[in-house]
Amino acid sequence: MLKKLRPAGRLALFSVSLLLAALPLRAVVVTGRVTDPLGQPIANANISLIQNGKVIIAGKTNSDGSYQLSNPVTGRFYVLAGGQSFRQLTTESFYGGSLEAVEQNIVLEPEWVRQSIVVTATGTPLPQAQLSASITTLNKTDFINRADLVDAMRQVAGVNVVQTGQRGGLTSIFVRGGNSDSNKILFDSVPIEDIGGRFDLSTIASTGVQSAEAYRGPNSVLYGSDAAAGVIGFSTPRGSTPFPSLLYEGDAGNFGTYRNEVQLGGTHRAFDYYGAFGDLQTQNSIPDSEYHNINESMNLGYALSGATTLRVSARNADIATGLPNAYQFYQIANDAKQSDQDIFLAGTIDHDFSDRWHALARYGLARKREESTQWSPTGIYEPDEGIYLGNPVTITGANGYAVSGQAILNYAGTYPVTSELVSNRDNIYAQMDYQVTPHLLGIAGFRYENERGADRYPGFVNDTLVRANYDYMLQVGGDFRSRLFYSLGGGIEKNGLYGTEGTPRVGLSYYAVRPGAGHFHGTKLNFNFAEGVKEPTITDQFDSLYQFLYSYGGQQAAQQYGIQPIGAEHSRSYDGGVEQSFFSERLLMRVTYFHNQFNNQIESVPPAALTQLLPNLPPEQVQQLITLLNTSFVSPTLNSLDFRAQGIESEAQFGIGRDIFLRGGYTYLDSVVQNSFSSDALNPTYNTESSFPNVPIGVFSPLRGARPFRRPPHTGFITVTYTGKQWTVVGNAAFSSRSDDSTFLGFSDANFGNSLLLPNRNLDFGFAKLGVGAVYQLKKWIAIYTQLENGTSNQHIGPIGYPSLPFNYRTGLRFTLGKEVK
């Protein structure tokens, strides 16, 4: 694991000056401290200065963990450190110029389990052992051979990943029961989710991704709006070799799948560079679901001095995927396609004013354009009604209920029809942190972002918006005797739509027993409290029920039901848990109880509800409005949904020797809807033509007392990793129980009725998904690899109506010239 940590302390300037005076004029002096994950110094640790792959000078750390290495030649270096019962680590490469004192502090990890350096919890690099927050880091080995990160993210406790369809299908992330648009998504610390938090994980190819951090819990203090349930951060690799390193891999598999990837990286004096290109093409297994993802990424850095670094990273993705719709509901594939173009850029200047005072300024850019085209009105045409139907089908839910009939697939009109969703963001962030004492760090930050969005659907919608948002953040953190670790912070956001909101956060960790040698040694207690805030999405704002009612004379209904303009969504979370080490830190177990409250959430109501909400409008006009909304796929929205999500999140890590690593997790989620407009204000919806005519059904939103959609009570995973001299093998399994959902076929059968609705409870199937990836290193420069997915060919991994990709595989070759980019 390669980590470069910001200096925490320097030798006295006088001492360094004396040392420099005794060395040649071009001398570089590297100083720092080596500590364990709790910040305790490690004495007599092995320490080496490496340049061009050779040890320049080696030594031992002092009793306080400090070290000092000097070299008479300038250039690019890295430091290698190791100690008894600790894994050998290196810093990222750095440049040392003439007469410069460069500091590299190193945190050594336990030899057997993973204790990563993370940044999403506090905004500064800190060992995971010092944090109370629940964070999982996935490195390159965790998603080796994979074309995307969908299955890799299933290997995180507390996270449920739902893909609607096959490879390239819309993929949502639910963190600890929160909504899928309640997560902040970062790429090199720049937000990349749509305005309002909506994010499709399938658009992120593994090309150009070095690692991912999954933070569970609100963190609007650091990240502002949208960080209401969790934060997911991806990072780009950096060049590290003193010469260009080229990596190419190409593979092919069933369903017409092939993939090519090229990476190039290296360094030249103060400059480091990395670039990558990836191209994935597949036909998938059902008609009209072809998918391709072409992406490019880069990461360029330049060290102006030992204290100042400039870095620019960028990513571009051009994506197209077929939209066959819920194929199991129609047995006819819709003739439609979605194209996405995503451009992300991060530019950062990072500077150390002194050994205690550090600052950074970052500009972030996100340009996202989603274009959907319906080429023709596919289906069986019914001229009297002006609709196109699917084939006769029988829909059976995991709950055992079944209905038969034909669903409306398309409406008559002028084709092709193209809709467009645009989400643009410019972001400026400034942060300053000051080490008040060795045990107290203060952080202050400011963020300004300008968001611009558009929703266009010819003949129905042509809306645009602009939001200017301001965030202010203050946080302090530290430790007491390296046993009690704390973090206290608060944020204030002024959002262009809903005004000013405040968000606090508190985190505490206490080591009742410090980690060390022994069968039962290392007990850590954690507690966290936080509040989060989320802004509405573009479509939530444009489809506001409040505005719709006022446009059609429904002011009385708005007042009667307390319907307000679209506003902020809120979350509140607290969790507490214990971490326990066993067998001299070979086994680590974590168990956390979490209790989340999500209030004022956005809820969609069926267009048919307008009959009740607009009683004074003539019935024929109401019917025209309902047809209009169904045809344009618009559902009125309002802030009316409250739900609670609590549960137990557990994880275990076990290192067997140096080559085998096991990790597994299980999450129990108990979520329940407390308030719902569909339940509390509207007349219930029933499928009166079924064998369950008295069961109320939530068509677009869950009913009070039910579970939120697509959040199963039981999820889990198991990962086994073997890393030998020639073989690397990663096997994993993801498990899920049944979950609540809807067929969303309200007012959508051949008679414009509800006969194709099924009860929400346990509608989606549970599943087990198995996969194995392997790499065999034939020579230093060539390897053969294969990836096997969905070994049981389970096609119920996605929500009801969307068949998942059955057993699939890819096999290919990997060529390396120079050295593989780290």
Query: Which tens digit of pLDDT belongs to each residue from 448-490?
Result: 999 999 999 887 778 899 999 999 999 999 999 889 999 999 9
Quote the pLDDT of residue 106.
87
User: Which residues contact residue 412 at a Cβ distance below 8 angstroms, ignoring those fewer than 6 apart?
Assistant: 377, 381, 386, 387, 388
Residue 5 has pLDDT above 50, yes or no: no
Quote the pLDDT of residue 580.
95
Residues 694-720 have pLDDT tens digits of: 999 999 999 999 999 999 999 999 999
CA distances from 645 to 93, 320, 507, 576 (A): 44, 35, 20, 15
Structure tokens at 555: 């002011």
Quote the pLDDT of residue 409.
95
Q: Options 1.10.1200.10, 3.40.630.30, 3.20.170.30, 2.40.170.20; which CATH number does 245-817 get?
A: 2.40.170.20
Helices (H), 44-135: none
What CATH code would you report for 13-107? Answer: 2.60.40.10
Region 419-423: mean pLDDT is 95
Q: How far apart are the first and last CA of the chain?
A: 9
Q: Do 137 and 212 meet the contact criterion of CB atoms below 8 Å apart? A: yes
Local structure of residue 607 (DSSP, 8 states): G
Structure tokens at 201: 């994980």
Residue 195 has pLDDT above 90, yes or no: yes
d(CA 88, CA 678): 58
Quote the pLDDT of residue 710.
97
Residue 21 has pLDDT above 70, yes or no: no
CA distances from 284 to 109, 167, 254, 289, 773 (A): 42, 7, 9, 6, 20
Region 187-209: mean pLDDT is 96
* H-run or E-run covering 29: strand 28-35
pLDDT band, very low/low/confident/very high, at 11 (cuts 50, 70, 90): very low
Residues 23-69 have pLDDT tens digits of: 445 578 888 888 888 888 889 889 988 888 888 888 899 988 889 88
Prior bond of 287 cis (ω within 30°)? no
Average pLDDT, the chain: 91
Region 645-667: mean pLDDT is 94
9 CB-contact burial (10 Å; exposed 0-12 / middle 13-18 / buried 19+): middle
Q: Do 743 and 799 meet the contact criterion of CB atoms below 8 Å apart? A: no
The residue with greater pLDDT, 85 or 340, is: 340
pLDDT band, very low/low/confident/very high, at 17 (cuts 50, 70, 90): very low
d(CA 659, CA 618): 73
Structure tokens at 321: 């995927």
Quote the pLDDT of residue 6.
43
Helices (H), 67-214: 150-153
Domain range list for the chain: 13-107, 245-817
Quote the pLDDT of residue 150.
96
d(CA 582, CA 518): 7
pLDDT band, very low/low/confident/very high, at 91 (cuts 50, 70, 90): confident
Specify which residues 79 forms β-bridges with.
49
Residues 544-591 have pLDDT tens digits of: 999 888 888 888 888 888 889 999 999 999 999 999 999 888 899 999
Quote the pLDDT of residue 4.
40
Residue 819 has pLDDT above 60, yes or no: no
d(CA 32, CA 27): 17
Structure tokens at 804: 């998942």
Quote the pLDDT of residue 111.
72
Residue 508 has pLDDT above 70, yes or no: yes
Quote the pLDDT of residue 469.
96
Region 741-762: mean pLDDT is 95
> Of all residues in the chain, what percent carry a pLDDT higher than 90?
70
d(CA 717, CA 652): 11
558 φ/ψ sector (left φ>0, alpha ψ -120 to 50, else beta): alpha
